[in-house]
A and B are shown apart, each in its own frame.
Chain A
Amino acid sequence: GQQVMQIPQYQHVQEGEDFTTYCNSSTTLSNIQWYKQRPGGHPVFLIQLVKSGEVKKQKRLTFQFGEAKKNSSLHITATQTTDVGTYFCAGDRTDSSYKLIFGSGTRLLVRP
């Protein structure tokens, strides 16, 4: 069945270091969305990428959608303690254009 995997599962960084999480889909996606979930919180939408090769930036966060629209990455420059949380990518399911399949998530811990 359709799968969306993320690596790494966990990442523990020193504040100020960079962080990257990678998302890989078993199928071609029409779009990829990224959500952040703080500890004890709920997923919050960060961004959506639609075009092949698209790159979007939000302050220290850079999001990229692969040329084949099967992979994506989120890069955080100079992490801060406020970046702590789990980052999920989510793509459209093959059986439905609007239902999402979530990646396995990458949990980011930041040492102050």
Chain B
Amino acid sequence: DAMVIQNPRYQVTQFGKPVTLSCSQTLNHNVMYWYQQKSSQAPKLLFHYYDKDFNNEADTPDNFQSRRPNTSFCFLDIRSPGLGDAAMYLCATSREGAAQETQYFGPGTRLLVL
């Protein structure tokens, strides 16, 4: 079945130690998004790729970066995780960057920062 896959499902890192989260999709969608979701809050968009074009949200900290080496894969790099970065990180895709597109979410990676 076509889907959005995230690895790992749980990630533990140390304060200040770089960490990379991965997302892959078999939907062949053009757009891939990274969201941060903290407990009892709505998902917050960090950035997205429209094909190869990277689009950063204005309030996304510089500590967060992303790479999309090909259509299927997208990575979230956190250069120096702080305690406040502990959250669920959700990857999502949409077929096109067009109005009224549905987003398909992966299962998420829960990040714990010690």
Contact = CB atoms under 8 A, between A and B. Distances in A.
Contacts, number: 54
Given A42-B108, A107-B40, A100 B99 contact: no
B70 interface: no
A97 B101 CA distance: 9
A57 interface: no
A52 B40 CA distance: 30
Interface residues of A, number: 22
Decide if the interface of chain B is mainly helix, strand, loop or mixed.
Answer: loop
Nearest to A103: B42
Given A98-B31, A102-B43, A104-B42, A30 B100 contact: yes
A78 interface: no
Main secondary structure of the interface of A (DSSP, over half): strand
A105 B42 contact: yes
Nearest to B94: A98
Which 7 pairs of residues, A with B, have the shortest CB-CB distance?
Answer: A102-B42, A97-B99, A42-B105, A31-B100, A98-B97, A42-B108, A43-B105
Interface of B: 31, 40-43, 45, 48, 90, 92, 94, 96-108
Given A33-B103, A35-B105, 13 more contacts: A30-B99, A42-B106, A43-B90, A45-B102, A48-B100, A50-B100, A88-B42, A97-B99, A98-B99, A99-B48, A102-B42, A105-B42, A107-B40
